Amino acid sequence: MSFFVNAVNSKFNTNYEVSQIFVGFHGDTLTSIALSFSDQNIPFLSLVYRCVKALVWLVKPEFILLSNSYNLVASSDVSDQTTEQDEKETLSNSNAEIPKPQSVAKTIDFQSLYFNKQHHEDLVDFLNYAFNINYSKNGWGDENGIQTMLLTFSSFSDYTEEIFKHYPKNEVQSTSNIATLQSEVTQLQSQIESILQQIERTKSEEKDGGDKIISQLNDEVSNLQARLQENLKKLYQDNSAQEQQEVKQVVVDESFKKPLCLKLHDFSSESELIHAVQRFFNSGDEDGSLLIQCDPVAVSHQRIVHARYICEKEKSEFQKKCSKNNSTKRKHLIFLVHLNRLATQFTFDFDKRWHYALIDDIRPSVISKIPSSHDLLHGSEIDLLRIEQPLALRKHFRMCLAKLIYPYERNSHHIQDQIQMMIQLFENDEFMNILQQRMGHLLEMICSNRSKSKLWQQQIAANKHEIMMAGTLRSALCHRLTATITRIFMQILSALDRNSNLSLFWKEIDNIEKKSLWLKIFGDHSLFPLSVMSHGLDYEPRYDVHSDGQNGHFEAKFPFSFVFIHAIESLRDEATKISLNIEDSVDRLVHSMFGNFLDIYVNSSNINFYLWII
């Protein structure tokens, strides 16, 4: 097994120690895991595979991302399978000669095993799997119930009981592929329309050999129409199927009920804990579950081990009582250990009476407001940024406003007015459409400029500091998306509010002419250019809001006046050389520089008035 673990470590292609890859790993871990499976009368290779599966349950997810074989596309198409099927796939011949550890490591697809066959998504996802009606086949329990130690990097808080409100979680499975079919139908219709137009052009040109070309085009149209009819038929069938969308009911063991949640550090003495555990087991001959939360920072390793011993002892007494009464009631034990990536490493020995698993973040997406691991790992960065953008802006805009640096003092009333302004602007569809368009363009530039040697998820997985600061890998992935969005937003805000230009739009929002001009300039990349800052996320730039006033505070009356003022000022010397009065000269030069933009969106009187103001 030690040779095998070293082979696995080389496959992860990292410079970390094995103890940093596997949670709870120490010098005697391999010995304890071998002993915990030693009484199972199964072929040797099956025994090795089960030991490996038990270890993979404890791998930190970032190291799966860093493994040499990591492939997002492949992992998204693998279905969940049972333990027996896994062993048959991996161990094709249990009576064969024992292979080298390196060859065994190559036969195991760690990404598929970790992300698709095991269940590390959140606590609800794990419980759906562990307490499935067939949990005994999954190897997570017996007729007496389940004893599991779950380890997580989620912070210690009081939301555990809230999590159980979402258990069990039914899986909604769409029986159709409507989006793909609709896309194919649209594409086929476009191709047919294009060919028909080509046929009409060929007929009108009356060239030699035109009949042969038309015949070939007609044959092509016939083939495309046949494919179109076939897809339309499938689309109709799938639409009907979608109306009766299949909901996969998760059937969980009825013996698992909402657990009694205890916190180990709340007990000041051993006797208090014993009485609490006895009350649980003596609460009637009914099925039940006990969940004990442990914080290794607040309680010692010895206290956690001793608490397990107390629970085992009381459960043994309960089972003896059930045997005398010929009853088969089950009591489940779950120890939830909240780890801290910055704290001293937590270690343990494998025990055949207990099962162990790492759940990076126990919170379901509905509670954490973070996309699921599946979405974060299988989505492209730009697609995820577009999806997260509206929510991130509304959630973090106050922080963005607080980081803007103005060249003049502002009081609490100014800040409150600015917050109210942003809340109302988020409800303005015209403003938001252009804002998201400009942000989308900058986000695409950022994604294209980043290194292509690694997936963006792997870049975060390799950043130990970023994961430690976020706490969990899922939080780190979401934080990267949020940080990218908010930095672009702050960059746009600092440019927009120059000379109180953003406030001008809000104040003149009922002025249709001025509002249209403001939005037009904001959406024009040539008039109002924005570029991506080259700094990485490790560097926090300044977001200075400039003002062109002599006293530091200047409120513009014309939308984006700072765009035009410098260009017009630079024309002063050239305007004096033209044999016209200064007003006509500047007017002609401005039109030559900005084309017909001002003619279309601003009338002549406003142009002249604006020119004389500046």
Same domain, 313 and 209: no
Mean pLDDT of 33-59: 81
CA 55 to each of CA 2, 227, 449, 594: distance values in angstroms, whole numbers, following the listed order: 12, 50, 38, 67
88 occurs within a structural domain: yes
Which of 221, 248, 275 lies at the terminal end of a domain, its last residue?
Answer: 248
What is the dihedral angle through the alpha carbons of 509, 511, 514, 520, rounded to the nearest 10 degrees? Answer: 60
Q: What is the pLDDT of residue 208?
A: 64
- Taking 70 as the threshold, does the pLDDT of residue 574 lie above it? no
The answer on 514 and 397 residing in a single domain is yes
258 assigned to some structural domain: yes
| Other CB atoms within 10 Å distance of the CB of residue 148 | 21
- Taking the CA atoms of residue 499, residue 505, residue 508 and residue 509 in that order, the dihedral angle to the nearest 10 degrees is -170
Sign of CA dihedral 440, 444, 450, 456: positive
Average of per-residue pLDDT across 432-447? 87
The per-residue pLDDT for range 192-231, each reduced to its tens digit, is 777 777 777 777 776 666 677 777 777 787 777 777 667 6
In a domain, 87, yes or no: yes
Which tops the pLDDT comparison, 73 or 161?
Answer: 161
Q: Please tell me whether residues 357 and 385 are part of one structural domain.
A: no
The DSSP output letter for 272 is H
* Domain that residue 184 falls in: 178-248
Give per-residue pLDDT as tens, 142-171.
Answer: 777 888 999 999 888 766 777 777 666 655
Instruction: List pLDDT tens digits, range 178-195.
Output: 556 666 766 776 777 777
Integer Cα distance of 436 and 51 in angstroms: 50
Token pair for 313: 């002892």
156 & 305 share domain: yes
**Residue 315 · residue 281 · CB < 8 Å:** yes
The pLDDT confidence band at residue 77, using thresholds 50, 70 and 90, is: very low
**Nearest Cα residue to 586 out of 599, 605, 601, 572:** 572
Q: How many domains does the chain fold into? A: 5
Per-residue confidence at 496, pLDDT binned at 50, 70, 90?
A: very high
Asked if residue 400 lies in contact with residue 487, where contact means CB atoms within 8 angstroms, the answer is: no
Q: Are residues 105 and 130 in the same domain?
A: no
Q: Which pLDDT score is estimated for 99?
A: 52
Instruction: Say what the pLDDT of residue 73 is.
Output: 37
pLDDT tens-digit profile of 602-613?
554 455 544 444
Same domain for 136 and 93: no
Q: Is residue 562 part of a domain?
A: no
In a domain, 561, yes or no: no
14 vs 469, more confident: 469
pLDDT band at 243 (very low <50, low <70, confident <90, very high): very low
Instruction: Identify whether 537 is part of a domain.
Output: yes
Q: pTM of this prediction?
A: 0.73
Question: What integer pLDDT is reported at residue 303 of this predicted model?
Answer: 93
Report the mean per-residue pLDDT for the chain: 76
Same domain, 166 and 185: no
Asked whether residue 417 falls in the same domain as residue 532, the answer is: yes
What percent of the chain is predicted at pLDDT more than 70? 70
Would you state the pLDDT for residue 404? 92
Which tens digit of pLDDT belongs to each residue from 317-364?
Answer: 888 888 887 777 788 899 999 988 877 678 888 988 899 999 999 888
**pLDDT > 60? residue 70:** no
Is pLDDT above 70 for 43?
yes
